[in-house]
């Protein structure tokens, strides 16, 4: 949903030329209860980085209970299989909700071992409301333009200013998309996925989802268990806290990751000159925040924007050297330039980000019930803020439109399932966006699933990011369905990759696979 993610995702959808339709899954037919496959008009949309990528579109009902009613359009992408052994479509999703999956298909196909990727048609899609799908939501363009009010409502005036913003956003969504919002939710997106399955002529699908994409996959498996062939969930949403409780739980975990960054900076005092005591470094960070609240850097980076800039460091430690350099330059040299640059790279929101956030709120606010009494939000978030001040109120305001959302809420789906083939789960112990408990909970709820744990890892989205141990389990599963079986909570344990080192000229100009993936996954879910 951020600028960096939008640039990467948007680069792969230039259309030129046509190719033949996708073949049906080998040895499979459409479900006897499903319509026959439609003719998807796949066209070349490759780039220099992803030359084999193809694109198509699919009409689906806005309301699946009224299949002959209003139709909407889903944007699809594909990297076709090339091996004689064909294992069917592998649908991929980067999370969000609100993340575009078009370029993720090319990334997954390129990051998997060639012999494995060659056996699948890797299928990306923009869920309803997202990106190239139509209609694409954009409730209030420029909603995140700087400088926003301070996120921490230490005065009634600050709280009033933030409440005015979120109420206006919810009202704008209701005005612009009154006929659409009741159908922007996870269950509707899951029904779309089954429409994609049918259009591909596949009896069953394989699925690989990150972050919110794990909940999307788990709900698909609940509603369509017999259409699941293989299921990979990486960085797993706790389905028992969807969504209000999950967001409160994130606040503690992100605070821990922020402190891990302070500890890392202390280790490299020779480079950053911020000290060797993590607590004192953290105090300098909060002093920087207070200074920016009084005088935003470059007219862009106030207190709220600073939180937005450092929050991606909780998702991916590969950003730490850039954040540390910006922090050091501001504190030690009174130079705000690197901080403004970091904000523009990691936090500034463009039109794609506006779209992503509109879908994020539409799905989360519709998926489950939220407190409608603002006093409950005040009570809960002040209590969490006392222990975890880094992003508690930032996260609260990000989700606060749900207190005023113009549609009714659904009941969260109970994803417990005993009807699936073996499922493979991946979870880092120190993940902030989807804390470890989510992986452990889903492991219990999906009978026969296997959990691979990255011990000591704090990144969000851990497969295909350079950890060979994790990727070995992923490749084995996609090759022939093999999963590890252990005796404890985890079926297999992999050691986390080491934290990054400070930037050098060479490192600053080198793009890693992990950085590419995290650019595609974006932030906030």
Structure tokens at 501: 């080192």
Catalytic choice (81, 460, 473, 518): 460
Which residue in the list 133, 211, 450, 465 is annotated as catalytic?
A: 211
- 517 to 93, 167, 361, 456: CA distances (angstroms): 12, 34, 23, 20
Q: Reduced to 3 states, what is the DSSP secondary structure of residue 369?
A: coil
Which positions ≥6 away from 438 have C-beta within 8 Å? 214, 236, 237, 238, 239, 246, 427
460: annotated active-site residue: yes
Residues 6+ apart with CB under 8 A from 334: none
Give Cβ neighbours of residue 123 (< 8 Å, ≥ 6 apart). Answer: 76, 77, 78, 89, 90, 91, 92, 105, 196, 200
Q: CA angle, corner 291, sides to 347 and 387, nearest 5? A: 75
Tell me whether residue 211 is one of the annotated catalytic residues.
yes
Set 138, 150, 431, 471: catalytic member: 431
Biggest CA–CA distance in the chain, Å, is 69
| Helices 513-521/3-10 angle, 10° precision | 100
Question: CA dihedral defined by 145, 147, 152, 156, rounded to 10 degrees?
Answer: -100
* In contact, 493 and 65? CB cutoff 8 Å: no
Strands across the sheet with 423-428, in order? 43-44, 54-61, 71-79, 121-126, 89-93, 205-210, 228-234, 423-428, 450-455, 492-495
State yes or no: is 431 an active-site residue: yes
* Cβ proximity of 103 and 8 under 8 Å: yes
Which pair of structure tokens corresponds to residue 28?
């499979």
Residues with active-site annotation: 211, 431, 460
């Amino acid at each position: 949903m951020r600028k960096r993610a939008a640039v990467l995702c948007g680069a792969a959808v230039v259309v030129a030329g046509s190719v033949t339709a996708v073949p049906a899954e080998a040895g499979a037919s459409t479900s006897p209860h499903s319509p026959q496959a439609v003719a998807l008009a796949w066209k070349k949309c490759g780039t220099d980085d992803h030359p084999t990528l193809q694109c198509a579109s699919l009409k689906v009902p806005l309301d699946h209970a009224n299949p002959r009613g209003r139709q909407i359009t889903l944007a699809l992408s594909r990297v076709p299989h090339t091996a004689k052994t064909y294992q069917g479509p592998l649908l991929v999703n980067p999370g969000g909700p609100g993340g575009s999956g078009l370029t993720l298909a090319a990334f997954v196909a390129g990051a998997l071992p060639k012999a494995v990727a060659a056996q699948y048609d890797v299928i990306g899609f923009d869920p309803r409301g997202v990106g190239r799908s139509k209609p694409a939501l954009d409730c209030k363009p420029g909603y995140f333009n700087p400088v926003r009010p301070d996120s921490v409502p230490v005065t009634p005036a600050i709280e009033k200013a933030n409440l005015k913003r979120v109420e206006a956003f919810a009202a704008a969504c209701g005005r612009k998309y009154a006929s659409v919002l009741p159908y922007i939710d996870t269950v509707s997106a899951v029904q779309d996925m089954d429409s994609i399955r049918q259009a591909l002529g596949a009896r069953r699908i394989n699925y690989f989802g990150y972050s919110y994409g794990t909940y999307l996959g788990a709900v698909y498996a609940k509603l369509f268990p017999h259409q699941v062939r293989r299921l990979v969930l990486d960085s797993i949403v706790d389905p028992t806290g969807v969504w209000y409780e999950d967001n409160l739980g994130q606040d503690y975990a992100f605070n821990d990751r922020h402190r891990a960054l302070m500890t890392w900076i202390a280790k490299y005092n020779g480079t950053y000159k911020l000290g060797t005591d993590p607590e004192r470094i953290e105090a300098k960070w909060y002093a920087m925040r207070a200074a920016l609240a009084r005088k935003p850097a470059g007219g862009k980076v106030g207190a709220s924007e600073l939180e937005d800039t450092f929050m991606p460091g909780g998702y991916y430690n590969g950003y730490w050297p850039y954040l540390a350099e910006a922090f050091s330059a501001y504190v030690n040299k009174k130079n705000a330039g690197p901080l403004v640059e970091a904000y523009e790279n990691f936090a500034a929101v463009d039109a794609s980000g506006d779209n992503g956030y509109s879908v994020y709120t539409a799905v989360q606010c519709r998926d489950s019930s939220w407190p409608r009494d603002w006093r409950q939000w005040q009570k809960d978030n002040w209590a969490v803020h006392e222990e975890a001040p880094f992003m508690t109120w930032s996260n609260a305001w990000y989700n606060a439109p749900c207190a005023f959302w113009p549609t009714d809420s659904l009941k969260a789906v109970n994803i417990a399932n005993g009807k699936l083939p073996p499922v493979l789960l991946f979870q880092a112990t120190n993940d902030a966006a989807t804390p470890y408990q989510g992986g452990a909970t889903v492991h219990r709820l999906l009978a026969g699933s296997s959990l691979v744990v990255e011990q000591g890892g704090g990144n969000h989205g851990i497969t295909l990011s350079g950890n060979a141990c994790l990727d070995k389990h992923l490749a084995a599963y996609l090759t022939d369905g093999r999963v590890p079986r252990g005796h404890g909570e985890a079926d297999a344990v992999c050691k986390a990759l080491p934290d990054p080192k400070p930037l050098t000229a060479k490192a600053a100009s080198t793009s890693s696979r992990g950085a590419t993936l995290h650019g595609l996954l974006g932030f906030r879910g």
